[in-house]
Homo-oligomer: A and B are copies of this chain.
Amino acid sequence: MHDRHIAPVELAKANRLLNHGPTVLVSARHAGVDDVMAAAWACALDFMPPKLSVVLDKASRTRALLEGSGRFVIQVPTVALLQQTHQVGSHGLAEQPDKLARAGVELFDLEGHDLPFVAGCSAWLACRLLPEPHNQQTYDLFIGEVIGAWADTRAFRDGHWLFEQADPAWRSLHYIAGGRFYAIGEALDV
């Protein structure tokens, strides 16, 4: 259903998928369990090889899964996924075992990666955890190397976001607090 619009993004341009600071969905799989959470505190960290950082609360199951498998996905949800993003950010798998179904999260596979990718996002970054125990314990800060990147060509193509021409439902979400998000806005060129 989604595949014909999903195209690889060259790793040298993967940072462009996160540079504008969107709220992301973090997903991971370990020992047969999948989880997805929302994270406002994710950030690009390096160009090549591309790296990123993300802050993951100790209480989150997604964190335990990625600590177990050493792999995770950072993906960019859209305005169309507003409710879903807020729901997976507000409930944990411990408290709500059917959390993903309740939130309407649909997962799909990408060949060569045993990871749960969230359907409907505009971009996906498959990551390998670079273990940094001090950062993880002290700051809840996780660093990943991006080993695969893809985007939906209706939102990002040839290295560029298409927000100004795409349907507004493709815009990225930028969380503030208490159920308030902003969509990304107008393009500005220097």
Contact = CB atoms under 8 A, between A and B. Distances in A.
Contact of A43 (B53, B132, B173, B185): B53
Give how many copies assemble into the complex. 2
A190 B20 CA distance: 22
Interface string A158-190: 011101000010010111110111111111111
A143 B187 CA distance: 30
A176 to B, nearest CB: 5
B183 A188 contact: yes
Interface residues of A, number: 52
Given A45-B139, A139-B45, A83 B186 contact: no
Interface in A8-61: 13, 15-16, 19-23, 40-46, 51, 53, 55
A121 to B, nearest CB: 16
